[in-house]
Amino acid sequence: MDSFTYVNIFETKGLEYLLLLCFWGLFVYLIKYLSTPDKKGNDSS
Amino acid sequence: MNKDVAITDSFGNFFSFLIQELKPRGPWLTPFNIISIPVILTGVGILVYRFIHGLGSVTNLSQETPWGLWMGFDVVTGVALAGGAYVITFVVYVMGVDKYHGIVRATVLNGLLAYSFYGAALLFDIGRPWNAPNPYIGNSFGFSSVLFLICWHFLLYMIAEFVEFSPVIAEWLHLEKAKRFLKKLTLGTVILGITLSILHQSGLGALFLMAKPKVHPLWWSEFIPILFFVSSIYAGLAMIIVEGTVSHRVFSRLIPEKHHDHFDDIVFGLAKGAAITMFVYYFFKALLFIHDGQWDLIVDGWGLWYLVEVIGFVLIPALMFAFGFKHRSLRIIKIAAVMALIGIVLNRMNVSVICYNWYADVHYIPTWQEFVVTFMVIFSELWVFRWFVTRMPVFSADH
């Protein structure tokens, strides 16, 4: 029976997929974050 | 209006009007004049010397390092910083966001002058400047060169920007019919200008595609044209924030009250756009870094320098733009804009000068004359910009 081998994430596209998932997650968060500006402070300089 | 007739009814009147407008206005002894006049005069002297005795007499350029500060800053960096014009005209005329209409004229003027001056500065850096018209006149067209595309795009884009700005000149000369006609051309020229901009902003990056062995691997990528294009968007937005802030202080009396009140809102909108663009750009850089497996390159001085550029002057300003927008902090946004501009200058200089021939034993360091001429170009542009905005209705409220 073949033994289980770990996949080296550095040798596959794994990191790229993870980064893209992070990107999309953070991008959606950023858009939501920027969609409602805080009305409190406005320090004109 | 009687003045309409007075200016344009005869060549004599027009000529005397022009002479009148060319005369200096305001006080001479201002800090800007005191600094810029000696720099411009010294720069002119250096250029005379350069054209008599050749590039080697005033620069540290060599066969190994043919592109230096003049090409790296004036052309490769300057064009990115002038990207605000195509971004704003796209937002206003194509997307129909009227909020930014008040800054269109100043931004287009800034873009037009930047291209004119930085395009002209290209002549200083060409060893045989008399060959410069070749791409236009058909003497060895050079279709296969990216520079051929860039040369034509520079010329066509300058014409497009001039047409976009021409209603202001018509208004200045009180030519109402001409102004109405020229305004009808705006949408078409804007679309042409945006197309040209996208192509030559990325084309400047494409220039370095063939220099793979010479550019440090952290800065070279087959996607460099796309990186140059995306970064030119936020460079333009950051430049508008900085330039607009300075203009609103220096030319305060020329700007209508309603524009003053409206400007903060414009800055917040630009900051939001810059935050999103920089975020995308940052992740694109990260993806390329991982895709190319550049972990080994990050451990030395060049790697540290790369992190300074990408984290210090892309990620951090992107977060500052987002935070500044969310919390309505103009101060944070303006600091972020300056940092973003430094990041763009760093990136373009890294690709074209600092990390070019990075393995060489002797590195290129610009001479003081190269710095003086670079500042001469910037100051000359600012002088002409000041002349335009103090004579023509660039900051006009109704257009």
Q: What is the CA radius of gyration of chain A?
A: 20
Q: What pLDDT, on a 0 to 100 scale, did the predictor assign at position B1?
A: 45
pLDDT digits (tens, 9 = 90+) for A27-38: 999 999 999 877
Residue B384 has pLDDT above 90, yes or no: yes
User: Can you name the residues that pair with B215 across neighbouring β-strands?
Assistant: B356
Rounded to an integer, the average pLDDT of B57-62 is 91
- In eight-state DSSP terms, residue B18 is H
| B315 interfaces chain A, CB cutoff of 8 Å | no
- The reply to whether B153 falls in a domain is yes
| pLDDT above 90: residue B21 | no
3-state percent breakdown (helix, strand, coil) of chain B, nearest 5: 75, 0, 20
- As a whole number, the mean pLDDT across chain B is 90
Residue range B135-173, pLDDT digits in tens: 888 877 778 888 888 889 999 999 999 999 999 999 998
Q: Which residues of B119-139 are buried (b: 16+ CB within 10 A; e: fewer)?
A: bebbebbeeeeeeeeebeeee
Do residue A42 and residue B264 have CB atoms under 8 angstroms apart? yes
The identity of residue B248, as a single letter, is: H
Q: Is residue B1 part of a domain?
A: no
CA distance B219 to B348: 10
Spatial separation of the C-alpha atoms in residues B322 and B282, rounded to whole Å = 14
Give the range of the structural domain holding residue B350, as residue numbers without chain letter.
Answer: 62-391
For the ranges B11-20, B321-330, B369-378, the lowest mean pLDDT is seen at B11-20
Query: What is the model's pLDDT at position B27?
Result: 80
pLDDT tens-digit readout, B242-301? 999 999 888 888 888 777 778 889 999 999 999 999 999 999 999 999 988 888 999 999
Would an 8 Å CB–CB cutoff place B248 in contact with chain A? no
Binary contact (A44, B287; C-beta < 8 A): no
CB B149 within 8 A of CB B199: yes
A32 touches chain B (CB under 8 A): no
Q: Which of B290, B291, B327 is facing A41, going by the closest CB pair?
A: B327
Q: Report d(CA B107, CA B389) in Å as an integer.
A: 11
Residue A28: what pLDDT? 95
Amino acid B213 reads: P
Mutation site for A-interface testing, chosen from B234, B329, B333 by largest number of A Cβ within 10 Å: B329
Contact B79, B115 (CB under 8 A): yes
Residues of B in contact with A30 (CB under 8 A): 275-276, 279, 322
pLDDT digits (tens, 9 = 90+) for A1-35: 567 767 676 666 788 889 999 999 999 999 999 99
B187 touches chain A (CB under 8 A): no
What pTM does this model have? Answer: 0.90
Q: Please indicate, yes or no, if residue B166 is contained in any of the structural domains.
A: yes
Binary contact (A41, B275; C-beta < 8 A): no
One-character DSSP codes across B254-289: GS-HHHHHHHHHHHHHHHHHHHHHHHHHHHHHHHHH
Above 90 in pLDDT, residue B188? yes
Predicted local confidence at residue A2, as pLDDT: 63
DSSP B36-91: HHHHHHHHHHHHHHHHHH-GGGT----SS----HIIIIIIIIHHHHTTHHHHHHII
Tokens of B111: 């873009």
Say which CATH number the domain at B151 has: 1.20.1630.10
Torsion sign over Cα A28, A34, A38, A41: positive
Tell me the C-alpha to C-alpha distance, in Å, between residue B348 and each of A9, B62, B153, B308. Answer: 33, 20, 19, 14
Q: Does B249 touch chain A (CB under 8 A)?
A: no
Instruction: Pick the closest to residue B101 from B109, B110, B92 (CA basis).
Output: B92
The pLDDT of residue B3 is above 60: no
| Residue A42 pLDDT | 55
pLDDT tens track for B342-357: 999 999 999 999 999 8
How far is the C-alpha of B336 from the C-alpha of B275, rounded, in Å?
Answer: 10
The CA distances from residue B12 to B16, B171, B210, in Å, are 6, 19, 55
Q: Do A16 and B293 touch (CB under 8 A)?
A: no
A19, B279: Cβ pair inside 8 Å?
Answer: no
Query: Domain total for chain B?
Result: 1
Q: Is residue B138 part of a domain?
A: yes
Q: Is B215 helix (H, G, I), strand (E, B) or coil?
A: strand
pLDDT of residue B181: 94
In this structure, is residue B26 part of a structural domain? no
Of B216, B325, B237, give the one whose Cα is nearest residue B281. Answer: B237
Interchain pair A40, B327: CB under 8 A: yes
Residue type, B388: F
Q: Is residue B121 scored above 90 in pLDDT?
A: no
On whether any CB of chain B is under 8 Å from the CB of A21, the answer is no
Q: What is the mean pLDDT of residues B50-76?
A: 89
